[in-house]
């Protein structure tokens, strides 16, 4: 049986990270290096992250080759995209070198922090982790941070700090968050997603309950009182539970909510008592709830109301979360990562009150399995904008064994157009976008390129 990763967390141990330039691997390399381990690794291409790692003394091979691996390494860590047929993985197996997943390494590292704040949920993880980062920075906690997107405050998706707190975006896909060791586990919501891995919604709930039970007896679970699936999943939880939401029964509650365009003001109550006033510069009730989750986590950490207020006042969104890209022909062009019907609903709920003449959504579905499993929910939401332009499905990790296409969606949506190429979609937009329109590129693939091309054409 392979030893736990904890046994390799000692100065002088030699580790090799495959995919070392990745969004979660490069900070992992930096943290391990800072712990005194001798770290090197490989990546398929040069990047700013690779150059940074080399600048602090970490050797990086470009390309994955079996000859890169030798018996001088004590362990290997691989990114999620690296499979067993990778030549470096095969070489490690042949030499008997233990291979760990990156989540196992991060989970072991978490144990070295007094506070391990893990943000989970089907939707809202990146935004809420970013909000928590803003609060922790305002509170001068010098946190270590791992986010699944770029945060302008950090000019990156990660930060290596010297404080006693780590905050991690924690994904349920493939049960990866079950390798973590949270002292505070935040659950934003639970929905039927990643059904190429989970059998059904009940299986997703079971995974989140296991995640909540990773919290030690003296830890805290922060959960969305307004989300029925979350509260049902946690009904047998035997850990301290703090809830947040709009309902009066929630421990941390938002009241006196006033929206002005893309800005929202509200008061936060902690068990009925005034805690602080928040001014958000991102729209929508879903972001009010994300901010409540971040405030509830801050309360468990003993952070002052002032730090919560100032931290969130400076938050203007994470990369690809209702991100303003620029203007085209008098229209505002935004981009959003929403790729689940629940996220589409939250996004459209947020933009409908903003007063645009028309809303044009360019939607690129993400994976064949998700499009097929949630087909009718996608149809329901994509009927809401004035015009829905559908790009072909972004395959990501899948092959199309289901015979499904975005054309299938378009047949069910009266106000929609399907075009298989980005060039065709851009041609439609150039001819139809008018002053006062809101143009939204939406999806987890590369659909954002369409908005960037439009804006660049004007510049």
Distance, in Å, from the CA atom of 64 to the CA atom of 89, rounded to the nearest integer, reads 9
Assess whether pLDDT exceeds 60 at residue 2. Answer: no
Q: Quote the pLDDT of residue 334.
A: 93
Rg (CA), the chain: 22
Q: Quote the pLDDT of residue 411.
A: 95
Q: Quote the pLDDT of residue 153.
A: 86
The predicted-structure confidence for 158-195, as pLDDT tens digits, reads as follows: 888 999 999 999 988 788 899 899 999 999 999 988 87
3-state secondary structure string across 132-201: HHHHHHHCCCCCEEEEEEEECCCCEEEECCCCCEEEEECCCHHHHHHHCCCCEEEECCCCCCCCCCCCCH
Distance, in Å, from the CA atom of 210 to the CA atom of 234, rounded to the nearest integer, reads 9
| Both tokens assigned to 81 | 């995209």
Assess whether pLDDT exceeds 70 at residue 1. Answer: no
Q: Quote the pLDDT of residue 296.
A: 98
Distance, in Å, from the CA atom of 296 to the CA atom of 308, rounded to the nearest integer, reads 10
Strand order in the sheet with 331-336: 323-328, 331-336, 437-442, 358-363, 387-390, 416-418
Residues 358 and 433: beta-carbon distance below 8 Å: no
Q: Quote the pLDDT of residue 176.
A: 86
Percentage of residues in the chain having pLDDT higher than 70: 99
Name the residue with tokens 């050797």: 59
Q: Quote the pLDDT of residue 397.
A: 75
126 counts as catalytic: yes
Q: Quote the pLDDT of residue 148.
A: 76
How is 20-58 classified by DSSP, letter by letter? TTSTTHHHHHHHHHHTT-EEEEEESS--HHHHHHHHTT-
Residues 287 and 280: beta-carbon distance below 8 Å: yes
Local confidence band at 300 (pLDDT 50, 70, 90 cut-offs): very high
Q: Quote the pLDDT of residue 158.
A: 82
Higher pLDDT residue, 251 or 126? 251
Question: Cα separations (Å) of 18 from 77, 87, 99, 122, 384?
Answer: 6, 11, 10, 27, 44
| 3-state secondary structure (DSSP) of residue 59 | strand
Local confidence band at 24 (pLDDT 50, 70, 90 cut-offs): confident
125 counts as catalytic: yes
Q: Are strands 273-280 and 263-270 parallel, antiparallel or unpaired?
A: antiparallel
Assess whether pLDDT exceeds 80 at residue 4. Answer: yes
Q: Which of 88, 169, 343, 426 is catalytic?
A: 169
Segment 131-143 mean pLDDT:
96
Strand order in the sheet with 75-78: 59-62, 38-43, 14-18, 75-78, 99-101
Segment 419-434 mean pLDDT:
95
Nearest to 149 by CA among 414, 346, 336, 290: 336
Local confidence band at 273 (pLDDT 50, 70, 90 cut-offs): very high
Nearest to 212 by CA among 199, 228, 202, 223: 223
| Both tokens assigned to 66 | 């079996």
Nearest to 32 by CA among 54, 55, 57, 15: 15
| Furthest-apart CA atoms within the chain: distance in Å | 65
What's the mean pLDDT when you consider all of the chain? 93
Segment 29-52 mean pLDDT:
91
Q: Quote the pLDDT of residue 196.
A: 79
Q: Which domains does the chain have, with CATH numbers?
A: 5-101 (3.40.50.720), 113-313 (3.40.1190.10), 323-458 (3.90.190.20)
Q: Quote the pLDDT of residue 402.
A: 92
In angstroms, how far is CA 323 from the centroid of its own chain? 14
Q: How much is the pTM?
A: 0.81
The predicted-structure confidence for 370-385, as pLDDT tens digits, reads as follows: 999 999 999 999 999 9
Q: Which of 135-139, 175-179, 396-400, 402-406 has the lowest mean pLDDT?
A: 396-400
Q: Quote the pLDDT of residue 459.
A: 62
Q: Quote the pLDDT of residue 294.
A: 98
Q: Quote the pLDDT of residue 48.
A: 84
As beta bridge partners, residue 148 has none
| 3-state secondary structure (DSSP) of residue 383 | coil
Pick the most confident of 28-42, 97-111, 242-256.
242-256
Q: Quote the pLDDT of residue 244.
A: 98
Q: Quote the pLDDT of residue 291.
A: 97
Distance, in Å, from the CA atom of 318 to the CA atom of 143, rounded to the nearest integer, reads 18
3-state secondary structure string across 414-450: CCEEECCCHHHHHHHHHHHCCCCEEEEEECCCCCHHH
Give the phi and the psi of residue 222 in degrees, each rounded to 5: -105, 125
Assess whether pLDDT exceeds 80 at residue 318. Answer: no
Q: Which of 126, 133, 359, 371 is catalytic?
A: 126
Q: Which of 121-125, 147-151, 198-202, 250-254 has the lowest mean pLDDT?
A: 147-151
Q: Quote the pLDDT of residue 195.
A: 73
Segment 297-311 mean pLDDT:
97
Q: Quote the pLDDT of residue 159.
A: 86
Local confidence band at 346 (pLDDT 50, 70, 90 cut-offs): confident
Q: Which of 125, 141, 289, 325 is catalytic?
A: 125
Distance, in Å, from the CA atom of 246 to the CA atom of 226, rounded to the nearest integer, reads 7
Question: Cα separations (Å) of 357 from 211, 330, 386, 425, 434?
Answer: 44, 11, 9, 20, 9
As beta bridge partners, residue 437 has 358
| Cα distance between the two ends of the chain | 59
Segment 337-358 mean pLDDT:
90
| Both tokens assigned to 417 | 């157009």
Segment 203-207 mean pLDDT:
95
């Amino acid at each position: 049986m392979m030893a736990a990763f904890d046994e390799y967390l000692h100065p002088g141990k030699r580790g090799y990270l495959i995919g070392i330039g990745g969004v979660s691997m490069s900070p992992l390399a930096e943290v391990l290096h800072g712990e005194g381990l001798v770290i090197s690794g490989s990546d398929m291409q040069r990047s700013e992250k690779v150059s940074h790692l080399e600048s602090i003394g970490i050797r990086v091979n470009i390309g994955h080759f079996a000859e890169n691996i030798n018996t001088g390494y004590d362990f290997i860590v691989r990114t999620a995209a690296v499979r067993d047929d990778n030549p470096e993985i095969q070489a490690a197996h042949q030499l008997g070198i233990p291979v760990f997943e990156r989540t196992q390494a991060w989970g072991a590292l978490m144990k070295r922090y007094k506070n391990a704040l893990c943000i989970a949920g089907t939707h809202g993880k990146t935004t809420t982790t970013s909000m928590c980062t803003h609060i922790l920075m305002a509170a001068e906690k010098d946190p270590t941070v791992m986010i699944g997107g770029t945060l302008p405050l950090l000019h990156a998706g990660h930060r290596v700090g010297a404080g006693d707190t780590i905050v991690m975006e924690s994904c349920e896909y493939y049960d990866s968050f079950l390798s973590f060791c949270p002292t505070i586990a935040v659950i934003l919501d639970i929905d039927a997603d990643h059904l190429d891995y989970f059998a059904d919604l009940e299986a997703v709930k079971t995974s989140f309950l296991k995640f909540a039970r990773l919290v030690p007896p003296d830890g805290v679970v922060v959960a969305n009182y307004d989300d029925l699936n979350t509260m049902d999943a946690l009904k047998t939880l035997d850990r301290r539970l703090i809830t947040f939401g709009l309902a009066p029964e929630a421990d941390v509650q938002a009241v006196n909510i006033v929206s002005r365009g893309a800005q929202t003001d509200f008061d936060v109550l902690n068990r009925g008592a005034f805690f602080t006033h928040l001014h958000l510069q991102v729209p929508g009730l879903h972001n009010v709830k994300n901010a409540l989750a971040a405030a509830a986590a801050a309360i468990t950490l003993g952070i002052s109301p002032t730090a919560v207020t100032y931290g969130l006042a400076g938050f203007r969104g994470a990369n690809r979360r209702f991100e303003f890209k620029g203007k085209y022909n008098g229209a505002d062009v935004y981009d959003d990562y929403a790729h689940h019907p629940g996220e589409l609903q939250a996004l459209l709920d947020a933009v409908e009150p903003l007063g645009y003449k028309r809303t044009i959504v360019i939607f690129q579905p993400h994976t064949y399995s998700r499009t097929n499993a949630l087909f009718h929910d996608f149809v329901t939401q994509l009927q809401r904008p004035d015009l829905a332009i559908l790009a072909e499905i972004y395959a990501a990790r899948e092959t199309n064994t289901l015979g499904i296409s975005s054309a299938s969606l378009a047949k069910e949506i009266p106000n929609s157009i399907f075009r298989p190429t980005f060039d065709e979609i851009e041609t439609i937009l150039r001819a139809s976008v008018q002053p006062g329109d809101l143009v939204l590129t939406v999806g987890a693939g590369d659909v954002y390129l369409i908005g960037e091309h439009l804006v660049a054409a004007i510049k």
